[in-house]
Amino acid sequence: MILKLISATDEWCITEEGFHPERNRVLESITSLGNGYMGLRGNFEERYSGDSLQGTYIAGVYYPDRTVVGWWKVGYPEYFAKVLNAVNFIGIDVKLAGKELNLHTWAPQYFQRILDMRNGELVRTFQVRDEAGRLFSIQAKRFVSKAQREIACISYSISLDEDPMGQGAEVTFRPYLDGDVRNEDANYGEDFWLRCEESSTESHQLVTMETKKSHFRVAAASSFRVFLGDRELAELERSLTVHPRFAAAEVETVLQAGETLTVEKTVAVTTNRDHRDAEVSRRALEMLQERASFRYSDLFQDHSEAWHQTWRDSDIVIEGDSAAQQGIRFNIFHLHQTYTGEDPRLNIGPKGFTGEKYGGSTYWDTEAYCLPFYLSTSDPQIPRNLLLYRYHHLEKAKENAEKLGLKGALYPMVTMTGEECHNEWEITFEEIHRNGAIAYAIFNYVRYTGDEQYLEDYGLEVLVEICRFWASRVTFQPRKGVYMILGVTGPNEYENNVNNNWYTNRIASWCLEYTLEVLDHLSAKNRDKYHDLIDRFQVTKGELEQWADIIDKMYYPVVEELGVFEQQDGFMDKELLPVEAIPQAELPLNQNWSWDRILRSCFIKQADVLQGLFFLGHLYDLETKKRNFDFYEPMTVHESSLSPCVYSIIAAEIGYREKAYELYLRTARLDLENYNNDTDDGLHITSMAGTWMAIVYGFAGLRLENGRLTLRPFLPDQWKSFSFALLFRGHRLKVTVTADEVAISQIGGSRCELAIHGQNYAVDADSEVRAAI
């Protein structure tokens, strides 16, 4: 393990000691910084000619890249929206005694990079010695401001530690903005950007560009100050460079032994998502100007305070297991870096701001895995914005269903703006269970927050259109008198084009059940409003009857003799083997087996039947969960990072504590340990929320029952205790679980009723309850 835990304080840090060029791309992913508005990988400020994926990303700024398919099918989307690699604004060319600093060619004597998660700062410290024997210490620090989203700051210091010749060393800094960037994953090697303007003056550099086709305009402005020790070298002459998409200014001075030279670079990034085209550059410059008198440390102060507040509401503390502690903080840190919920036009890309892969678009991961995290750790406006994102895409989802010859709304598998971006028929057209997650998120949000008004204002409309989709997608089978759903891909994507995937049939029927419940509830509560909405959405009596009929006659495959739900029709015809039977060298299957072999095997990529038992856990008893877990778990390869958390939660629920912990470990440090050997492409952001769930829903057993928080906590044997913050309907709670006790305290607030292992309790304002477990 290269990412050391040097001391207990390192539970707040990710520390790499020594430079490992072969792992540089992995470390770049791990040390990515972001603030929901923009972010960047942990690339070096100075030039680096070794293996690196340079990446700066701005939320919502995408490009409709021409799609690639082997064989075109009717209905495939024309484009795949991609998160764009944008202007590189961290760059600082450095020369030491006339020679360009580049860690690919200068072997560092000492090297350390630290991601400080408590403060959201990346600090890199290293030493290099030049041919004349001079020893330089370099420290590069940076943050992307959580206090002012358009701002990022860099502090880059060079000290001359040893100077055998006693002549000092010439040091050159050339901070720059470079817009000549490409996406590594551009389908046809296309350049996605057009030049707008650039300038370089004594006071600032500016590069403004616009994307082709999607016409996003992005301005990056930067300024910098140079200090010798604490004294500003305002008089240093700046030699300016500007050419298309590039702006820089160079300063040079001589550094004597014992001295430290620091350049502090401040960057402001604005886009036409927030400003009129003509204003974009000006606003970036103004923002810089407003901060002209601040130093790095001033801006850092506001930034780190914002992080402290976030940690207060969402930290998880694990005692007795530093690796687990570090792992969960890493996950929470990146989740908050990726999405802050301020902008309902945004969502959570599977790689956040840490890479290009998966196009940075939205998947059902958001509703299925991320929403619970934001529900419990953020202002309710934030999960609400996640829901509104889908509400705003309803028209596009209706168009999408129409394209497939169906009614109602089918939400896309992958999207940036509501349009489908995926292009594999078995996913794009058939992995329709995603629609269920959209409906489930509404249920989940309302259940947690109690915000029934959301249903009237937005949620019901989405639910109705989802029901219409299901009603047109089912096939009535007259010989058996049942409704079936043919030709689908369930959550377990290692089965394609199957009939009657249990999860899909169940979640489809549940969507209808929930919608009818919501309508009944509304009708009872406010008859006028009910009629108002029914009229607005043109819901007919016939439709309601049809939905009830589908609920009544939905077909569910089951294995009678085992008392388990059958993943799909024909699953039991497979050769049923445990994962243990697969030689280690053949794992992961998706990198070793041809697709047909995977498909006809019994092996399960990610929770499928168990996904249903997790979502709809309130409808199934423990014995049912246990039987299905016992049957499916041994066949599950967990080749989606989203899988183990669900299994872990159910294992916890049915009392398989060791199993729950073992499964938890598979995700907790997934990226820190690079288990899937793909962290170089970026982090698995959405699975990080699953890890959070594995603790809070799994070990602590959090559930909502009749509008009440309930906990069924236990402590994994490997830990001394764990505690987490929880926001619930205005209550700011802290839950601490030890081996034999759970303590729930409230900061401020009002009386909060809850249940622990089935017993009712109440926590009053600023007080605490304890219960034996």
Q: Which residue do the tokens 């764990």 mark?
A: 722
Residue 175, beta-bridge partner list: 92
Q: Which of 569, 662, 673, 741 binds its own copies (CB under 8 A)?
A: 569
**Which is catalytic among the residues 356, 493, 513, 653?**
493
Cα separation, 222 vs 220, in Å, equals 7
Q: 752-756 and 708-711: which strand pairing?
A: parallel
Of 494 and 547, nearer to its own copies (C-beta) is 494
Contact between 720 and its own copies per CB under 8 A? no
Cβ-based neighbours of 157, under 8 Å, separated by 6 or more:
138, 139, 140, 260, 261, 262, 263
Nearest to 245 by CA among 289, 211, 286, 203: 211
Q: Hey, which residues does 58 pair with through a beta bridge? A: 38
- Closer residue to its own copies, CB minimum distance, 271 or 640: 640
* Least distance (Å) between residue 570 CB and its own copies: 5
Using alpha carbons, list the distances in angstroms from residue 353 to 52, 56, 356, 429. Answer: 15, 7, 8, 28
Interaction mask 172-211, its own copies, x per CB under 8 A: ----------------x-----------------------
Using the contact rule CB under 8 A, the part of the chain among 130-138, 425-433, 511-519, 662-670 near its own copies is 425-433
Return the SS3 of 643: helix
Residue in the structure block whose two tokens are 């269970």: 433
User: Which residues within the stretch 59-118 sit at the binding site for its own copies (CB under 8 A)?
Assistant: 67-71, 73-75
> Residue 135 — left, alpha, or beta (φ > 0 → left; ψ -120 to 50 → alpha)?
beta
E-strand stretches of 503-650: 558-559, 564-565
Minimum CB distance to its own copies, residue 332 (Å):
31
Instruction: Tell me which stretch binds its own copies (CB under 8 A): 56-64, 160-168, 424-432, 675-683.
Output: 424-432
Residue 208 C-beta: closest distance to its own copies, Å? 32
- 4's CB contacts (< 8 A; 6+ apart) are 10, 15, 16, 17
Site for its own copies in 493-532 (CB under 8 A): 496-499
Q: Which is nearer to its own copies, 537 or 593 (CB)?
A: 593
**Sole residue written with tokens 């005692």:** 319
Which lies closer to its own copies via its Cβ, residue 18 or residue 570? 570
Q: Binders of its own copies: how many residues, by CB under 8 A? A: 46
574 near its own copies, rule: CB under 8 A: yes
Report the site for its own copies in 393-412 (rule: CB under 8 A). 403-405
Q: Which is nearer to its own copies, 535 or 573 (CB)?
A: 573
**Binding of its own copies at residue 759 (CB under 8 A)?**
no
Of the two residues 29 and 601, which places its CB atom closer to its own copies in the complex? 601
Do β-strands 62-66 and 79-83 pair in parallel, antiparallel, or remain unpaired?
antiparallel
> What's the min distance (Å) between Cβ of 188 and its own copies?
8
Contact with its own copies (CB under 8 A): which of 591, 677, 750, 760? Answer: 591
Measure the CA–CA gap between 110 and 268, rounded to whole angstroms: 32
Looking at beta carbons only, is 241 or 590 nearer to its own copies? 590
Rounded to a whole number of angstroms, the CA Rg of the chain reads 27
Residue 45 or 493 having the CB closest to its own copies: 493
Task: Please state the closest distance from residue 585 (CB atom) to its own copies, in A.
Answer: 12
Site string for its own copies, 26-65 (x = CB under 8 A): ----------------------------------------
**Interaction residues for its own copies, span 444-503 (CB under 8 A):** 475-477, 479-480, 484, 486-487, 496-499
Give the whole-angstrom CA distance, residue 228 versus residue 423: 56
Shortest approach of its own copies to residue 422 CB, angstroms? Answer: 8
- The CB-based long-range contact list for 710-713 (8 Å cut-off, 24+ gap) reads 710/754, 710/755, 710/756, 710/758, 711/735, 711/742, 711/744, 711/754, 711/755, 711/756, 711/757, 712/653, 712/756, 712/757, 712/758, 713/737, 713/742, 713/756, 713/757, 713/773
In the list 147, 516, 572, 587, the residue contacting its own copies (rule: CB under 8 A) is: 572
For the bound state, the minimum distance from the C-beta of residue 594 to its own copies, rounded and expressed in Å, comes to 4
The SS3 assignment for 552 reads helix
Please say whether the beta carbons of 179 and 192 come within 8 A.
no
Q: Is the peptide bond before 588 cis (omega within 30 degrees of 0)?
A: yes
DSSP state of 368: I
What is d(CA 513, CA 516) in angstroms, rounded to the nearest whole number?
A: 5
Cβ atoms of 502 and 609 within 8 Å: the answer is yes
Shortest distance in whole angstroms from residue 427 CB to its own copies: 8
By beta-carbon proximity to its own copies, the closer residue of 243 and 600 is: 600
Catalytic annotation present for 493: yes
In angstroms, what is the minimal distance from the CB of 362 to its own copies? Answer: 18
Would you say 298 or 402 has its CB closer to its own copies?
402
Among 31-39, 376-384, 454-462, 591-599, the segment contacting its own copies (CB under 8 A): 591-599
User: 556 vs 595, which CB is nearer to its own copies?
Assistant: 595
Q: How many residues does the chain have?
A: 773
Q: Give the nearest distance from C-beta 640 to its own copies in angstroms.
A: 14
Supply 740's token pair.
Answer: 């034999």
Residue 119 · residue 87 · CB < 8 Å: no
Select the span of 286-294, 320-328, 341-349, 568-576 touching its own copies (CB under 8 A). 568-576
Asked if the peptide bond before residue 164 counts as cis, ω within 30 degrees of 0, the response is no
Minimum distance from CB of 503 to its own copies (Å)? Answer: 17
CB of 684 to its own copies, least distance (A): 18
Site residues for its own copies, 249-278, by CB under 8 A, read: none
Site for its own copies in 596-635 (CB under 8 A): 596-597, 599-600
Q: Per rule CB under 8 A, is residue 595 in the interface with its own copies? A: yes
424 binds its own copies (CB under 8 A): yes
As given in the structure block, the two tokens for residue 481 are 């008198």
99-100 β-sheet, strand order: 99-100, 92-96, 169-178, 246-255, 239-243
Q: Of 484 and 649, which has the nearer Cβ to its own copies?
A: 484
Enter the tokens of residue 250: 């160079």
User: Taking the mean position of all CA atoms in its chain, how far away is CA 339?
Assistant: 7
Nearest residue (CB) to its own copies, 225 versus 473: 473
- Segment interacting with its own copies, rule: CB under 8 A, options 155-163, 169-177, 589-597, 631-639: 589-597
Q: Is residue 199 left, alpha or beta, with left meaning phi > 0 and alpha meaning psi from -120 to 50?
A: beta
Q: Is the distance from CB of 725 to CB of 732 less than 8 angstroms?
A: yes
Give, as one character, the DSSP assignment of residue 671.
T
Per CB under 8 A, which region of 539-547, 584-592, 700-708, 749-757 contacts its own copies? 584-592
Choosing from 105, 540, 592, 760, the residue that interacts with its own copies (CB under 8 A) is 592
User: Rounded to the nearest whole angstrom, what is the least distance from the CB of residue 675 to its own copies in the complex?
Assistant: 19
> How many angstroms separate the Cα of 725 from the Cα of each of 325, 560, 596, 745, 755?
14, 43, 46, 10, 17
Report 659-688 residues binding its own copies (CB under 8 A): none
Binding site for its own copies (CB under 8 A): 67-71, 73-75, 188, 403-405, 423-426, 429-430, 475-477, 479-480, 484, 486-487, 496-499, 569-570, 572-575, 590-597, 599-600
Active site residues: 493
